[in-house]
A and B are shown apart, each in its own frame.
Chain A
Amino acid sequence: MASATVPTLTLVRLCAMQELRLSVRSRWTQIFAVVFAGLALAVAASGYVLSGGSGLQDFSRTAASLVELVLILVPLTALVFGVMALTPDAGAAELLYSQPVPRPTILLGKLAGLCLALVASQAVGFGAAGLLLFWRSGADGVMGFIGVVAGSFVLTAVFLALAAALTAGATSTRRAHHLAVALVLWFLAIVLFDVVALGVASLLRSGTASRLLMVAVIVNPVDAVRTATLLAVEGTTAFGAASLAFLRMTGGALGAGLYLAASVIAWVLLPLIVAVVRVRRADI
């Protein structure tokens, strides 16, 4: 069998390239790239206008708005693109999975390709926005900006993994169902989770409530990325006294970084494991 002689990494790379090619040919990736770049540019431009062109931390204010854009758009696109790509038409799925390649390898390859396509389109948007931002503000915030970009890439990986866990082994007949579930998941992650956390916190005693909110911020990958990037961009001024409380609980900047990183890594790995198990068992 071919898979015995070809190393798995090569297979993953082959699948990834094929997926990248597919998504680029479908034109949706480019459309996303253009839309994302347009929105990022709009944020970069309006961030400057909103502060009255005052030079009042134009950079970090704008970077913070850019983070908000990322938090809304990136999980949504990663989920939708993931579900669309991982629920192929029945014939295509049969053809693909009948190749002498282990199913998890195909799945991981497809995910890598998708991730590459999305990351590349985001890089275009960030690049364009960054050019405008740094040109206008003349700020010294490269590391913060890289942090925002990295946060966006991490969110892409997290929500692609979630899409994979959701759809592993499915075909296009269930696509609408999976899309609906993905949308619910997205809403849950970016809105409902925070609302519930705040609601519960307002019922508890203040010490417990504060701890609950800090744990909530770590556990939810969207909040984790938001907290990490805003702290990276604005330092402890990002959340006022709450930043200090958060750093105290997590044991300083390094501790906070580790907790947040552990959370998002778990959010990539656990769904991937679920996806691999499910695709092995799936009846295609």
Chain B
Amino acid sequence: MTTAFLLVALLAQTPQSRPADGPAPYGPLEGRPSVADASPLQQRVDAAQPGDRIEVPAGSYVGDLYVDKPLHLVGVGRPQLVGSGSGSVVRIRADRVTIEGFDIDGRLGGNLARDSSGIHIAGRLALVRDCRIVRSLFGVYLREADDSVVEGVTITGIEGKAPGEQGSGIHVWNTLRFTLRGNTIRFTRDGFYIQSSHYGLVTGNRVSQIRYGLHYMYSDDNRFEDNVFEQGAAGAALMFSRRLVFARNQFIHNRGFASVGLLLKDCEDVTAVDNLVADNQRGFLIDGAIRHVFRHNVVATSDVAIVIYDSSSENRFEENTFVGNLAPLLLVGRRTDTVFERNYWENFHEPDLDGDGVRDQPYRLSNVFDHLRGNLVAADLLAQGIGAAVLARAEQAFPVLRPISVVDEHPLVRAPERGDIPRMPQENPRGARAGLLVSALGLCLGVIGLRAGRRR
């Protein structure tokens, strides 16, 4: 009944219907564990009245827990829930269940196809807070769990396990208005996997050493803010979703082979503001992107700042800062209608004689090296050198190659104020002390050397 209502609401909301291959089919839900597999806490849960608060003292409780009524489970002194090893450790099958203060161990057990998790939620208005989850296939699984909140949860997946053999840190399926806040996730398949779930908020999380930090599929009208995604195959991968908005996130150190800070595939109307995309193999990759706006982000120290497939259209890059990228743009396909306006390009030094803060010449986002780089990996060895600079100048003065004409008509002289954009974590100040010492030593030795020549 509710599902049907939601579907109607969704269809009314979005002009186009959902893609046919969108939502995954219903799988069987893990039910009540057998008596042998049940947790010693099961009796207390079964005996409780709906709405009761159950305080669990410190200790280790082996077995799975099945919660089928609204309850508030509180761990006092961090009790340990150790799974039976045959399925989800905590199975929530009712609305309004709160669980907080537990350490949960999945014992590497369960079945990926049955979504075995540390905490598996199939009820609305759940709240999971301040838990630690280790060794489970999925960390927290929200299945049709509208208005649920997961916050302050630390999930450590199974290190070294192939992405295909384990689940995501927090998996959200067919859930509306979820909130994921302040969680820390490592060593899982994806940090967050969000499918067919709308109006969610993902904020203040930290995800590292995963495949994709954040992965949206067929999920519209979502926001994510103030997260850190690092050391993955992609910081975030947004796919087949509409009207996503994200701000003040960090997509950093995604450096592996073919890694990317932010991957956008077949999305519409995405807005990115104030994000830091730094030290990635590729910064933004947009494929099949329609009407995206990238405003006031910093894209830094990538091999390629932006990759655009010609399946994309009507996208804009405004007032972004591009610093220290080996190449600004790679076009896959020959054409793009992407608009670049008022961005700051660190390596562009045309003067601004009228002093209006905009350089007098437009910035061309392609140079002679894009032609070489395409099929000549080693070209980058020389691309930043003096000879290459001379070559690029010459080509600019006497164009012999037909460049792809992607230009920023009004490149800024100064990087826009950083404001809300996050900064890279500060480097080690002790290292600076060693550097200062070495520099001072060099200075002294140099002066002594020069004075030695004057003596007598």
Contact = CB atoms under 8 A, between A and B. Distances in A.
A123 B446 contact: yes
A156 interface: no
B301 interface: yes
A52 B346 CA distance: 9
B375 A206 contact: yes
A223 B385 CA distance: 8
Interface string A42-57: 0000000011101111
A130 to B, nearest CB: 3
A190 B387 contact: yes
A177 B16 CA distance: 78
In the complex, which of the residues B433, B442, B443 has the most CB atoms of chain A within 10 Å of its own CB atom? B442
Main secondary structure of the interface of A (DSSP, over half): helix
Nearest to B456: A21
A203 to B, nearest CB: 11
Contacts of A210: 376-378
Interface string A115-152: 01101111111111111011101111110011001000
B382 interface: yes
A217 B382 contact: yes
Contact of B432 (A20, A120, A138): A138
Contacts of A237: 255, 279, 301, 303
Contacts of B281: 240
A122 B449 CA distance: 11
Given A198-B379, A246-B378, A72 B386 contact: yes
A198 B383 CA distance: 9
B427 A56 contact: no
Contact of B300 (A57, A120, A126, A133): A57
A210 B443 CA distance: 40
A22 to B, nearest CB: 8
B401 to A, nearest CB: 10
A227 interface: yes
A229 interface: no
A138 B430 CA distance: 8
Interface in A205-260: 206, 209-211, 213-214, 216-217, 223, 226-227, 230, 237, 239-243, 245-246
A227 B324 contact: no
Interface string B31-46: 0000000000000000
B47 interface: no
Given A56-B301, A202-B372, A242 B453 contact: no
Contacts of A154: none
Nearest to B321: A52
A124 B279 contact: no
B300 A24 contact: no
B443 A123 contact: yes
A132 to B, nearest CB: 8
A35 interface: no
Contacts of B378: 201, 209-211, 213-214, 217, 242, 245-246
B389 to A, nearest CB: 9
In the complex, which of the residues B378, B439, B440 has the most CB atoms of chain A within 10 Å of its own CB atom? B378
Interface string B352-390: 000000000000000000011001111111111111101
Interface stretch (B62-70, B123-131, B418-426): B418-426
A14 B170 CA distance: 74
A93 B266 CA distance: 77
A52 B390 contact: no
Nearest to A226: B385
B427 A138 contact: yes
Nearest to B388: A194
B113 interface: no
A29 interface: yes
B278 A56 contact: yes
Interface string B407-447: 00000001100100001101111111111101111111111
A55 B426 contact: yes
Contacts of B446: 33, 119-127
Contacts of B415: 51-52, 54
B386 A71 contact: yes
Nearest to A120: B449
Contacts of A178: none
B380 A241 contact: yes
Contacts of B384: 64, 230, 239
A81 B380 CA distance: 33
A30 interface: yes
Contacts of A68: 386
A127 B443 contact: yes
Contact of A197 (B382, B444, B445): B382
A242 to B, nearest CB: 4
B329 interface: no
Nearest to B427: A139
Contacts of A197: 382, 387
A249 to B, nearest CB: 9
A260 B289 CA distance: 44
B450 interface: yes
Nearest to A50: B346
Contact of A223 (B303, B376, B382, B432): B382
A117 B278 contact: no
A146 B438 contact: yes
B454 A21 contact: yes
B284 to A, nearest CB: 16
A20 B452 contact: yes
In the complex, which of the residues B323, B384, B449 has the most CB atoms of chain A within 10 Å of its own CB atom? B449
Contacts of B440: 127, 131
B432 A56 contact: no
Interface of B: 255, 278-279, 281, 298, 300-301, 303-304, 321, 323-324, 326, 344, 346, 371-372, 375-388, 390-391, 414-415, 418, 423-424, 426-436, 438-450, 452-454
Given A140-B428, A210-B376, A213-B378, 14 more contacts: A25-B454, A50-B346, A122-B446, A127-B439, A127-B445, A131-B439, A134-B439, A139-B427, A191-B386, A194-B385, A198-B391, A201-B376, A214-B378, A240-B281
Please list the 4 inter-chain residue pairs (A to B) with the smallest Cβ-Cβ separation, ordered nearest first.
A194-B387, A140-B431, A127-B443, A130-B439
26 contacts: A20-B449, A24-B453, A30-B450, A51-B323, A54-B321, A57-B279, A71-B386, A124-B446, A127-B439, A130-B435, A140-B435, A141-B435, A142-B431, A145-B435, A146-B438, A149-B442, A190-B386, A190-B387, A191-B390, A213-B381, A214-B378, A214-B381, A217-B382, A239-B326, A242-B378, A245-B377
